[in-house]
Structure 1
């Protein structure tokens, strides 16, 4: 591979690209909303939120020095991340707390990149994260889900025009910001009906002696604030 080609790739990935027009940004927001609000669409699109949720658990487990044994993604949109290490302490608390806020924080980071014009960098970065996650997947459905998600990013990155890439990137980030808000509300409803007795907030309550309702409230605050801040960046406000 010659130097000019490497320079071209470097400039393509780390350079800036013009954002789509405001009306296209609004269209991508509407598309993302259509994937999150209707129950039928959500049953399918929630798989992408689960990837981010379990990926958040796994990433924080590694960053806090825990050993990541594997990640499983299931067809009912649930997931499981298994890590080894000290069963208590800050590392375990951060790992347990990362799941429900991961999609929203990823969306917020993506919105920051898009606001700075780094559309291609976002697409390639997402592909790299999915590839890293694929190594830790331990079931066939999980492999299929992550491969399909990664393939979508690769195909858009290499085979489409900059305008299509921008629309795709904005739609993905809107989806993470909007989709990250719904799971805490779903969990709140399950808890109200007496379900989800071993959810992430319940595990955090046992680890910290802080009520699960407080942790659930924190998830609401993070996801809603991420949507507000990320939405303002995407709209150029």
Structure 2
């Protein structure tokens, strides 16, 4: 990105870019599936979903008036966000609710930006959000994960060509849309084997009295709905092929 002033940079960020080709759209979607489906790859790429998950907890904690203490990310792709406030009530409920829906909703927001041609704005928004989250990281692995992710996004945003930026942006959004679905299935698999007694769904069950399975179903509906709507925005008209023929 060659800019000579802040004004020029602002116009570059807020401007729109040309629509990508269908080849790029489909290739980026395929690459995102490869990053989500195979288990060996998922062990690495799941770190990005954890960043979004914990960022969702942190954002809603702040928005609901809770005091955010810090975020930790771990090498096993788990994470924890600590906030202080009432141990019950709407603030705690929404904070617990935010984690599993955050990747899908971030992907949906990204799809909305890309659908209107704001590729550069999306990339800079990612840099800004990662920078803000870095301020609240409280362990070294978390710092490493955030710095590495932020450096990658910034490098693409600042140095890459427009075509590479578009490919990366679409891959990232597809990845969040697909990557928001898989953890929900993993969550229920762990719950079914008694391996996640402190999961977000079980915390919500204790807070609200609504069974944890229903919360898992809610997470799944949000994630799948975001993936379908996001795909519709990214590839306008594709859902027409899914419609049943009229009699």
Compute the displacement of 1:6 (Å).
Answer: 2.6
Q: Is 1:96–1:200's contact at 8 Å kept on the other side of the alignment?
A: yes
Partner-residue secondary structure (3-state), 2:5: helix
Corresponding residue of 1:200? 200
Correspondence for 1:59: 59
> Following TM superposition, by how much is the alpha carbon of 1:7 offset from its aligned partner in structure 2, in angstroms?
2.4
Instruction: Identify the residue that residue 124 of structure 1 maps to in structure 2.
Output: 124
Aligned equivalent of 1:140: 140
- Report the counterpart of residue 79 of structure 2 in structure 1: 79
Q: How many residues align?
A: 234
Aligned partners of 1:19 and 1:166 also within 8 Å = no
- Corresponding position: 1:105 with 2:93: no
Cα separation, 1, equivalents of 2:18 and 2:148 = 27
Q: CA deviation at 1:10?
A: 1.2
C-alpha distance in 1 between matches for 2:177 and 2:202: 24
Q: Distance in 2 between matches of 1:133 and 1:82?
A: 13
TM-score (norm 2): 0.93
Shift of 1:192: 1.3
Unaligned runs of 5+ in 2: 238-247
Q: 1:184-231 CA deviation, whole Å, 9 max, x = no partner?
A: 100111111222011000000000011101111000000000000001
Aligned to 1:224: 224
Quote the Cα distance in structure 2 between the aligned partners of 1:194 and 1:78.
Answer: 17
Give secondary structure in 2 for the equivalent of 1:195: coil
Q: Deviations over 1:137-158 (max 9, x none)?
A: 0000000000011001110011
| Residue 68 (structure 1) aligned with residue 60 (structure 2) | no
**1:19 Cα shift?**
2.3
1:43 aligns with 2:43: yes
RMSD, aligned CA: 0.8
In structure 2, the partner of 1:33 is 33
Distance in 2 (alpha carbons) for counterparts of 1:96 and 1:118: 31
Once the 2 structures are TM-superposed, how far is the Cα of residue 178 of structure 1 from its aligned partner?
0.2
